[in-house]
Structure 1
Amino acid sequence: MSLRKIRVFPDPILRKKCKPVKLIDSSIKKLSHDMLETLEYVGGIGLAANQVGVLKRVVTLHLPEEDHRILINPEITKSFGTREVKEACLSFPGYQGLVKLSMKVKSRWLDINGSYYKLSAEDLLSQVLEHEIDHLNGILYIDHLLAHEKLNDAKQIGLKNILADQKLDDTKSENQPHIHDVDINLIVDKENTKSDDYEHLETKLDLSLIYSDSSMEDLKYDLHNAGYLSDLDNKN
């Protein structure tokens, strides 16, 4: 298994539809396991194949406190109700937006062994299934932004932090996902601060991730030019 480069907006492959998997062969199995490793490394919960540059209908999921899932040719067969939720995406690192999604979905897929699955999903699983299957169809969550909504900086929404001691081997390509080394000094008056408070503050510190050739500033520039950033972000 190996890490795969995550494609970042506005990479054109994110707008292309993925093709059905006709045979679950060794290449599909390797792709699936590479996606799982990449997903775990960056601390994400869902990843679609075109996000790593492969136009196949493959999705990997790793929800909190659940076993990972590999979904081959997943589809949503029925959806129920609507709700407003905050969305984020590994192809838009550092941003989030308010969108309208279903309350519940029915879905089906094949696993890595070709076994057939059907599932009724709600809450986070429903949200992730819709998000990732949209990816397979070339649809991004920015397409679902509510009227007059723009993307906002996601530094404060509690995205999973990447631990500072995680490192790639020196042999890995510089364009693969990796930690961008940063120095952080946290000064806390521990005599006048509850332990729970400063420990929580320490866990909220964000480290920068580099996903591809595009830097975070490049992404911000592209989002700004496309008109997706909120006024607050445009002023920064």
Structure 2
Amino acid sequence: MAVRPIRLFGDPVLRAPAAPVEHIDDGVRALIRDLVDSVEPPGRAGVAAPQIGVGVRAFSYNIDGRIGYVINPRLVEVSGEPERIGEGCLSVPGLWHEVSRYPRARVVGIDLDGDEVILEGEGLLAQALQHETDHLDGMLYLDRLEQADRRLAMKQIRESDWF
């Protein structure tokens, strides 16, 4: 349907926990099409519904050429020793900071038919699963930064041309 504009840091929709999808209807189908369209541009690994202004639990992903979505995802497992890894966010453009993430993750949700979806992986997929479920809980990766990194990130945001 459409590549939707990404909401930026400071928009309240990014800080509110997203509501579960109760019924699959034409509105949800249109949202999923927009999420998939919105994650396709180069450089995008994931887009959560709140990032396009919709406060429901759904996200799309684009990892290693594999594009998909999940509705009502729950992060059910993370494993391995957390590692500091470079991360950015479409809602905080131009910033890149190290954040602690688990190297493996599993998300369980549903698809548009109501069938169970299990997404699990390592590396970038694990990072994206954690990042996108954080969005659905009203968190940004900035919230996971160490104190000194967070101060620097907030300074960079204040000095940015988009804030």
Q: TM-score, normalised by structure 2?
A: 0.88
The residue that corresponds to 1:201 in the other structure is: none
> Corresponding residue for 2:124?
124
Contact 1:59–1:70 (Cα < 8 Å) also in 2: yes
Q: Which has the larger radius of gyration?
A: 1
Task: State the match for 1:74 in structure 2.
Answer: 73
TM-score by length of 1: 0.62
Which aligned segments of 4 or more residues in structure 1 are displaced greater than 6 angstroms? none
Note the alpha carbon deviations across 1:81-119, whole angstroms, 9 max, x for none.
211111111101111111101121222111222210224
**2:14 match: secondary structure:** helix
CA distance in 1, matches of 2:62, 2:126: 13
Task: Give the equivalent residue in structure 2 for 1:115.
Answer: 115
1:162-201 matches, within 5 Å, as none
What is the root-mean-square deviation in Å for CA atoms of aligned residues?
1.7
Alignment partner, residue 151 of structure 1: 153
Deviation at 1:42, TM superposition (A): 5.9
More strand by share: 2
Q: Which amino acid aligns with 1:70?
A: Y
Q: Give distance in 1, aligned partners of 2:107 and 2:42.
A: 26
- Give the percent of matched residue pairs that are identical in Structure 1 and Structure 2: 34
Structure 2: gaps spanning 5 or more residues: 155-159
Report what 1:224 is aligned to: none
Distance 1:42 1:14 in 2: 22
Report the residue type matching 1:5 in the other structure.
P
Contact 1:61 1:70 (C-alpha < 8 Å) held by counterparts: yes
Could you list the runs of 5+ residues in structure 1 that have no partner in the other structure? 153-215, 220-236
SS in 2 for 1:95: coil
Give aligned pairs, total.
Answer: 155
- Residues 118, 218 of structure 1: CA spacing in aligned structure 2 closer, same or farther, 3 A cutoff? closer
Q: What's the counterpart of residue 21 of structure 1? A: 21
